[in-house]
Chain A
Amino acid sequence: MKIDEVTETDYMDSGAACPGCAGELALRLVLKELGEKTVLTTTPSCVGATCSVNISRINTAFPATAATSVGMSAGLKALGKTDVTVMAIAGDGGTADIGLQGLSGAAERGDDILYVCYDNEAYMNTGIQRSSATPPGTWTTTTPVGKERPKGKERPRKDMLKVMMAHDLPYAATASVSYPTDFLDKVKEAKDRTGTRYIHVYAPCPTGWKFPPERSIEIGKKAVTSGACILAEWDEGKFSLTGQSKRLAEDGKELTPMKEYLGPQGRFKHLDDEAIKEIAQTARENLEEYRKLAQAYS
């Protein structure tokens, strides 16, 4: 897909998200691709609380995103309405933490839903608390930087793409709002399948990451080009890297220095060069691991 093929039609009504919010943009883009024959589940999160859409939507309870969508899908089937896409959108907290059980259950059963997780790497709606998707080295309000804990969050983040791949679902991918055509190509792939489809889209958050709102797209790009976030796709048992991540891992393209990605973000300002080097090293290792996975599942 080319960017000028993206429809002008907008299904977002109004929004109260912060300026530069990439989570809001993620939903805006997905809906453009899915179109009006969609019913949507949202949940407590920045997107659930701030976005208003002009397609049918239920704002369910925080752990209930997947199961509510599953019920909608079954209900539509029972009523013979088979041409409607049931889509869910939740944050990283709503997905990797409190909603994981319901999502796992749906994916294992193969329930017919398209689930989008927009990942801003913390609980933003409640004031920047860590989630299991928060990367190591991050300051959040529940992983504050202190004498005893100079790095902020310590443990690695949960890799939701791998978690979902372990369910052997028809389609799963990571994407970034900073690469909208790659993202929408994936939404398009996911739309036409049956079963549980999962898209994990990285969505920088100026408020929680502490950078100026006009830099969201640029920071999102650096997340990918530094190797901190990886674009990949699982398609009926085949795994591949896509877009910039493919170029970095397979075509030998240079990684952006990690400092260029982390530096502008206030949530990393406590990190010294040594800590940044460590993060860069982990990113290289992750990228290499993904490259090998792509080889193994080609």
Chain B
Amino acid sequence: MMSKEVFVSGNTAVATGVSLVEPGVIAAYPITPQSPAVEKISEFIADGEMKSEYIEVESEYSAMSACIGAEAVGARAFTATSSQGLALMHEMLHFASGQRLPIVMAVANRTLAPPWGILNDERDTIAQRDTGWLQFYVESAQEALDTIVQAYRLSEQEDILTPTMVCYDGYIISHAYEKVVVPDKDEVQSFIPEYEPDEILNVEDPKTLGYAPSGYNTEYRVKQQLGTETAKGAIGDITEDYADQFGRDYVGMVEEYGPENPDVTLVTLGSVTGTVRDVVDKLNDQGREVGLVKLRTLRPFPYEQLADILKGTGAVGVLEKDISFGYEGAVFSEVRSALQGTNNVPSMNFIAGLGGRDITMENIENVYEKLFTMAETGESEGRIEFVGYRFSDGKGII
């Protein structure tokens, strides 16, 4: 078999990525906009294209619990969810990472209720940032497929053993159709080594999971932290190997786009990156030196690379689809902390796309205009701007 080109939705691309890996156990519960992904996986199994045990669990909480059980006995597991479903899993997300079980989960990002909505923002996964999972934010259906394959190799690496979330924006990626290259299954299988974990529940060598020797919680957590730190280097190596073997290069944790040493730089993540690329091209064609930094991972957080990339630019904006109420966008806080110690580059947070609000090219051009002003004056006129705020009370900038 060879790789082939198909024209599919992001959800189908996710399902296809999973079918190439063929985990032993899939446990999932439907939720818009993830549903077509798990329906497709069910179809693959029904048609015999994929040999996995599929558990049609009665909730996301049980989906994650079942993945934990499967990985605890040494089987690969996969699940997918969105929004409310992810929130319901919260307790078990900690369990999966704490027990060092390399589960891979796809999340079709969707807003959290209320107000009820099925459209996209990234508040759901960003709220799970501290659960100990690695988090990738992808830009396309192709990247979703490729990242799922990479995620198994990454998570299962002996010195990492940490679960991974592959976050793909609901509707914008999940339901949009794209040309996607499906790699050859045997090649994918050769890319991810056999899963043979040491610490599993079996009858030959009894052990208890779920506890650490009493008084050693800190040491346990240090190991967890080291695992996620190790992932930094591994992501670089794995994306490089992937590029060599499959021809698609996602660079690593961060990708720079636009001219070298741009006058101003916008940091963003997820599907909106595509729109920002177009704006960058347009403005650069007009002779304005603007740059883009795509954050591919939020955990591990590539602060060294970001500091290095951003230190020479005139102003930094962070465009994100979430807010940590009482402070600011969570990604903005992270980027600003990465900027500590570099020169005092002015920065501003642009919160956009909440509940599925469109982010237009014009919105992004305005953001860049603002960054130019900040670069000139050396300061910003506010910390947070809610892009496209509809009321005229002036409260959209805080």
Interface residues of A (CB under 8 A from B): 36-39, 41-42, 52-61, 63-64, 66-79, 81, 84, 101-102, 104-105, 108-109, 111
A57 touching B209 by the CB < 8 A rule? yes
Q: With A64-B68, A70-B62 known to touch, is A79 a contact of B75 (CB < 8 Å)?
A: yes
For A36, the chain B residues whose CB sits under 8 A away are: 203, 206
Q: With A67-B66, A71-B55 known to touch, is A79 a contact of B209 (CB < 8 Å)?
A: no
A78 touching B25 by the CB < 8 A rule? yes
A102 touching B65 by the CB < 8 A rule? yes
Any A CB within 8 A of the CB of B70 = yes
The residue from B56, B58, B73, B211 contacting A75, defined by CB atoms under 8 A apart: B73
A61 touching B58 by the CB < 8 A rule? no
A56 touching B58 by the CB < 8 A rule? no
Any A CB within 8 A of the CB of B57 = yes
For B127, the chain A residues whose CB sits under 8 A away are: none
> In the complex, what distance in Å separates the CA atom of A55 from the CA atom of B77?
23
Give chain B interface residues in 169-204, CB to chain A under 8 Å: 201-203
Beyond A56-B207, A70-B66, A102-B65, 5 additional contacts (C-beta under 8 Å) are: A63-B61, A67-B63, A67-B69, A75-B53, A105-B59
The residue from B67, B74, B203 contacting A79, defined by CB atoms under 8 A apart: B74
For B67, the chain A residues whose CB sits under 8 A away are: 71
For B59, the chain A residues whose CB sits under 8 A away are: 101-102, 105
Any A CB within 8 A of the CB of B386 = no
Most buried by B among A39, A53, A101: A39
User: Taking CB as reference atom, which chain B residue is nearest A69?
Assistant: B69
A74 touching B208 by the CB < 8 A rule? no
Give chain B interface residues in 65-122, CB to chain A under 8 Å: 65-75, 77, 91-92, 95, 99
User: Taking CB as reference atom, which chain B residue is nearest A78?
Assistant: B24
For A66, the chain B residues whose CB sits under 8 A away are: 62
Any A CB within 8 A of the CB of B164 = no
User: Taking CB as reference atom, which chain B residue is nearest A40?
Assistant: B201
A73 touching B69 by the CB < 8 A rule? yes
The 7 closest A-B pairs by CB, nearest first: A71-B69, A78-B24, A105-B58, A71-B66, A59-B210, A75-B75, A75-B70
> In the complex, what distance in Å separates the CA atom of A66 from the CA atom of B66?
9
B208 touching A57 by the CB < 8 A rule? yes
The residue from A37, A60, A68, A77 contacting B53, defined by CB atoms under 8 A apart: A77
Instruction: Give B293 Cβ to nearest chain A Cβ, in Å.
Output: 38
> In the complex, what distance in Å separates the CA atom of A102 from the CA atom of B27?
13
Interface residues of B (CB under 8 A from A): 24-25, 27, 52-53, 55-59, 61-63, 65-75, 77, 91-92, 95, 99, 201-203, 205-211
Q: With A70-B66, A102-B61 known to touch, is A75 a contact of B203 (CB < 8 Å)?
A: no
A78 touching B75 by the CB < 8 A rule? yes
Instruction: Give A124 Cβ to nearest chain B Cβ, in Å.
Output: 20
B77 touching A71 by the CB < 8 A rule? yes
A109 touching B208 by the CB < 8 A rule? no
User: Taking CB as reference atom, which chain A residue is nearest B73?
Assistant: A75
B206 touching A68 by the CB < 8 A rule? no
A58 touching B208 by the CB < 8 A rule? yes
B58 touching A104 by the CB < 8 A rule? yes
A61 touching B92 by the CB < 8 A rule? yes
> In the complex, what distance in Å separates the CA atom of A295 from the CA atom of B67?
42
B206 touching A75 by the CB < 8 A rule? no
B95 touching A61 by the CB < 8 A rule? yes
Instruction: Give B45 Cβ to nearest chain A Cβ, in Å.
Output: 12
> Can you list 14 residue pairs at the A/B interface with Cβ under 8 Å?
A36-B206, A56-B207, A57-B209, A60-B68, A64-B92, A67-B27, A68-B66, A70-B27, A72-B72, A74-B69, A75-B70, A79-B75, A101-B59, A105-B62
> In the complex, what distance in Å separates the CA atom of A25 from the CA atom of B319?
59
B27 touching A71 by the CB < 8 A rule? yes
Instruction: Give B100 Cβ to nearest chain A Cβ, in Å.
Output: 12
> In the complex, what distance in Å separates the CA atom of A63 from the CA atom of B74?
22
For A37, the chain B residues whose CB sits under 8 A away are: 203
User: Taking CB as reference atom, which chain B residue is nearest A65?
Assistant: B65
Q: With A37-B203, A61-B65, A75-B74 known to touch, is A101 a contact of B208 (CB < 8 Å)?
A: no
Q: With A64-B61, A71-B67, A79-B73 known to touch, is A55 a contact of B56 (CB < 8 Å)?
A: no
For A104, the chain B residues whose CB sits under 8 A away are: 58
User: Taking CB as reference atom, which chain A residue is nearest B67?
Assistant: A71
> In the complex, what distance in Å separates the CA atom of A56 from the CA atom of B206?
4
B62 touching A101 by the CB < 8 A rule? yes
Instruction: Give A205 Cβ to nearest chain B Cβ, in Å.
Output: 23
User: Taking CB as reference atom, which chain A residue is nearest B94?
Assistant: A61
Instruction: Give B17 Cβ to nearest chain A Cβ, in Å.
Output: 19
Instruction: Give B351 Cβ to nearest chain A Cβ, in Å.
Output: 33
The residue from A56, A68, A102 contacting B68, defined by CB atoms under 8 A apart: A68
B203 touching A74 by the CB < 8 A rule? no
Instruction: Give A181 Cβ to nearest chain B Cβ, in Å.
Output: 26
Instruction: Give A47 Cβ to nearest chain B Cβ, in Å.
Output: 13
The residue from B55, B99, B206, B209 contacting A74, defined by CB atoms under 8 A apart: B55
> In the complex, what distance in Å separates the CA atom of A54 from the CA atom of B95?
22
For B24, the chain A residues whose CB sits under 8 A away are: 74-75, 78-79
Q: With A68-B69, A75-B74, A111-B55 known to touch, is A102 a contact of B62 (CB < 8 Å)?
A: yes
> In the complex, what distance in Å separates the CA atom of A42 from the CA atom of B206?
15
User: Taking CB as reference atom, which chain A residue is nearest B211?
Assistant: A59
For A101, the chain B residues whose CB sits under 8 A away are: 58-59, 61-62
Instruction: Give B128 Cβ to nearest chain A Cβ, in Å.
Output: 16
> In the complex, what distance in Å separates the CA atom of A256 from the CA atom of B59?
44
A78 touching B92 by the CB < 8 A rule? no
Most buried by A among B52, B56, B65, B67: B65
> In the complex, what distance in Å separates the CA atom of A101 from the CA atom of B60?
11
For B75, the chain A residues whose CB sits under 8 A away are: 74-76, 78-79
User: Taking CB as reference atom, which chain A residue is nearest B209?
Assistant: A58
For B95, the chain A residues whose CB sits under 8 A away are: 60-61, 64
